[in-house]
């Protein structure tokens, strides 16, 4: 059946869609013949009977890949309008222009078969509702997807083959350039100095944040290479960021290694159900190509591995130790391991204002394996024990350490000064270049001469500003070490304990010194509650065990010993509280806090340990006992006291009445109670 025979009035009364697509913007820009052929389909639609107002062009997908529907807005419009029955025919150059995916292609064909939409390309007209046409269109879609796979396989195979020889070109990190198809160090000495300074600072400080802070404090700048635009391939100098430092430390190119496949693409399903392609950072054993010693590097391979390990150890959210030096007064922060569970011991500050640090391991409680912490010990005793051991271990080698530190300090000053001088040299070159341009211009051309003169003045001003900054920096930080200062440093090195406790030595400095000698310390509870064992593992591999006794808790300190309580119990049998205080003071006893004993202290001890008051003598009663003995009310007892019927006295102020009762008084009171008809007697009988 011919093309015109398949096109009916039902198709001509609908719209004709011309779908135009190129895979990349480079094809749109440089392969314009293909784009022109697709636009020529507009005239073909007119020749087949569609009016110009019925022909719609879909060209917003130029520069988008046909592998998925992501970012292909016009393809989504096409599918939607076909489903609504608005499209009579779809014009495309070939099946691969509509879709490279069989899933998208067959979905479109199914909708076209239901709504009676034709598919027209350069080879002919197809009706998806007919079996033969549907079979041909399905095969064309399969060939389009297979073609995409073949193209990708050829390109990727060529890249892998070239990468295996170390010849595949890719954007180089700052500090490297291509020279005759070889990777060499950047000939700009200032660029090399900036990169080397990053690695030197990281070796000295140990963290990426410290490298950024050191760069900013030293007033240095770091280059970055621009890609695209007017500044393509040029170096731009600016502030060093934390992400740049991490990228430099993790890039094996700086160790002279050629690597291909550090990042690999992987497909995943997005939140809306669409398929996305993302780049993943692969582990070192999954790199496709790794050629060591491929080119000259800034560091060695061993140093690169050490830097990666240090970055991994710096993570505080992972297992193991947090080795970098951080703020805080606790000396052993980040070095302690729990002997019970093997996890890292953290620091907790207690007390009002958090002034009492405690080393605590809460892993078991955090994992709901126990109701309390594995270990909780005060920080001060452990810090003091390790300090004493460290001072005794370091003292014989302090002079050598001082000389090495002094040499490193002078070397660092020379490197920083050289970096500043190269920066000024670059500014001086720019000023001289602006001067030469100004001198070569025709003086009669005043407009150009004025502009060049302004640029020259600006370049000279930048040079003067940099020189002033360098002078200020040298006065502030670049302190020259004289022979007298060297002698003083060596003298101080002989007294390491005094240096350790000096006010000028910060807690961070002490922690750095400790980490140079100690790898980790395992804390284990001893057989007794207040005994702690410290298993020290030194950096050289040797191990050592220290045992210390923790100080008693405050409650144990202020608690009275059992012997003292027993002495109070004995005295309370026959003496009152004031008498007990006098006797104990005479024996030389004091309170648990070292203060003189008081009556309140004895009262508290009797209440705490349930020590009764001294028993009264025979015939000596108090008001309550008199009431119970004679079966009268308290008012009657106090009436007797006021009228002098009974004699009562206070042993001491505010103490209960002491009432002596002999046989004669007892008989008289019984007779008085028995003969009195006005008393409200208690139901208790008189014994």
C-alpha distances in Å from residue 200, one per residue of 178, 205, 219, 298: 25, 9, 16, 10
Q: How far apart are CA 428 and CA 38, in angstroms?
A: 57
Tally the C-alpha atoms within 13 A of residue 6's C-alpha that lie toward its C-beta: 18
Using CA atoms of 353, 358, 360, 365 in order, give the dihedral in degrees to the nearest 10: -40
The 8 Å CB, 24+ separation contacts for 40-46 are 41/91, 41/92, 41/93, 42/18, 44/91, 44/120, 45/16, 45/18, 45/89, 45/91, 45/120
- With CA atoms as reference, report the closest residue to 59 among 93, 100, 87, 102: 93
Angle between helices 242-249 and 189-205 (to 10 degrees): 90
- φ, ψ of residue 524 in degrees (nearest 5): -130, 135
Q: How many residues does the chain have?
A: 687
Q: Centre a 10 Å sphere on the Cβ of residue 293 and count the other Cβ atoms it contains.
A: 12
DSSP run (H or E) holding 146: helix 131-164
List strand residue ranges (DSSP E) for 585-653, in order: 620-621, 649-650
Residues 57, 66: Cα–Cα separation, whole Å: 17
Please report how the helices 242-249 and 301-313 are oriented relative to each other, as an axis angle in degrees rounded to 10.
130
Q: Which stretches of 522-576 are DSSP H helices?
A: 554-558, 562-571
HEC secondary structure over 212-269:
HHHHHHHCCCEEEECCCCCCCCCEEEECCCHHHHHHHHCCHHHHCCEEECCEEEEEEE
Give the alpha-carbon dihedral of 143, 149, 153, 159, to 10 degrees. Answer: 120
CB 42 within 8 A of CB 18: yes
Is 65 in the active site?
A: no
Q: Which distant-in-sequence residues (6+ apart) come within 8 Å of 45 by Cβ?
A: 16, 18, 55, 89, 91, 120
Kindly name the residue from 4, 23, 34, 376 that is annotated as catalytic: 23
Active site residues: 23
């Amino acid at each position: 059946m011919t093309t015109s025979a398949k096109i009916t009035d039902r198709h001509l009364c609908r719209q004709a869609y011309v779908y135009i697509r190129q895979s990349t913007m480079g094809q749109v820009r440089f392969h314009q013949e293909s784009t022109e052929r697709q636009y020529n389909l507009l005239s073909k639609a007119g020749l087949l009977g569609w009016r110009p107002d019925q022909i719609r062009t879909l060209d917003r997908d130029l520069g988008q890949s046909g592998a998925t529907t992501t970012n292909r807005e016009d393809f989504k419009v096409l599918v939607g309008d076909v489903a609504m029955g608005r499209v009579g025919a779809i014009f495309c150059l070939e099946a691969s222009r509509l879709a490279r995916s069989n899933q998208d292609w067959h979905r479109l064909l199914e909708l076209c078969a239901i709504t009676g939409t034709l598919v027209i390309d350069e080879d002919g007209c197809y009706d998806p509702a007919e079996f033969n046409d549907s079979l041909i269109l399905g095969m064309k879609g399969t060939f389009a997807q297979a073609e995409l796979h073949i193209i990708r396989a050829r390109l990727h195979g060529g890249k892998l083959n070239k990468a295996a020889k170390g010849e595949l070109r890719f954007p180089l990190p700052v500090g490297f350039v291509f020279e005759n198809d070889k990777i060499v160090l950047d000939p700009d000495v200032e660029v090399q100095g900036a990169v080397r300074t990053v690695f030197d600072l990281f070796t000295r400080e140990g963290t990426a944040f410290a490298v950024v802070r050191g760069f900013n404090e030293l007033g240095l700048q770091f280059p970055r290479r621009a890609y695209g635009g007017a500044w393509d391939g040029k170096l731009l100098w600016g502030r060093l960021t934390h992400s740049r430092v991490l990228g430099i430390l993790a890039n094996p190119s700086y160790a002279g290694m050629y690597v291909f496949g550090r990042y690999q693409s992987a497909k995943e399903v997005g939140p809306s159900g669409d398929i996305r392609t993302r780049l993943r950072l692969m582990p070192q054993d999954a790199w496709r190509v790794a050629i060591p010693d491929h080119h000259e590097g800034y560091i060695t391979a061993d140093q690169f591995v050490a830097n990666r390990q240090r970055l991994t150890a710096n993570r505080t959210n992972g297992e193991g130790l947090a080795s970098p030096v951080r703020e805080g007064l606790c000396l052993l922060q980040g070095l302690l391991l729990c002997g019970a569970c093997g996890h890292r011991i953290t620091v907790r500050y207690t007390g009002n204002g958090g002034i009492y640090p405690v080393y605590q391991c809460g892993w078991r409680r955090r994992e709901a394996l126990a109701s309390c912490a594995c270990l909780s010990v005060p920080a001060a005793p452990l810090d003091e024990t390790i300090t004493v051991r460290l001072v005794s271990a370091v003292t014989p080698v302090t002079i050598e350490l001082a000389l090495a530190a002094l040499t490193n300090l002078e070397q660092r000053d020379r490197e920083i000064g050289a970096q500043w001088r190269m920066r000024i040299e670059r500014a001086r070159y720019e000023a001289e270049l602006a001067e030469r341009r100004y001198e070569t211009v025709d003086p009669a051309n005043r407009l150009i001469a004025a502009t060049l003169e302004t640029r020259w003045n600006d370049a000279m001003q930048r040079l003067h500003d940099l020189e002033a900054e360098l002078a200020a920096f040298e006065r502030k930080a670049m302190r020259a070490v004289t022979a007298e200062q060297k002698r003083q440093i060596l003298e101080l090195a002989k007294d390491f304990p005094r240096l350790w406790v000096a006010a000028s030595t910060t807690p961070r400095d002490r922690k750095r010194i400790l980490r140079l000698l100690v790898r980790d310390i395992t804390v284990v509870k001893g057989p007794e509650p207040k005994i702690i064992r410290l298993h020290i593992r030194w950096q050289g591999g040797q191990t050592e065990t220290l045992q210390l006794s923790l100080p008693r808790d405050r409650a144990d300190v202020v608690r009275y010993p059992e012997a003292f309580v027993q002495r109070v119990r004995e005295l309370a049998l026959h003496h009152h509280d004031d008498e007990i205080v006098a006797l104990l003071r005479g024996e030389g006893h004091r309170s648990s806090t070292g203060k003189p004993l008081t009556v309140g202290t004895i009262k508290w001890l009797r209440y705490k340990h349930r020590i009764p008051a001294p028993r009264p003598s025979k015939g000596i009663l108090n008001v309550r006992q008199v009431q119970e003995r004679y079966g009268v009310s308290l008012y009657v007892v106090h009436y007797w006291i006021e009228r002098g019927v009974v004699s009562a006295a206070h042993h001491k102020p505010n103490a209960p009445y002491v009432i002596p009762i002999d046989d004669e008084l007892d008989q008289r009171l019984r007779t008085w109670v028995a003969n009195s008809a006005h008393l409200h007697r208690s139901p208790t009988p008189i014994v």
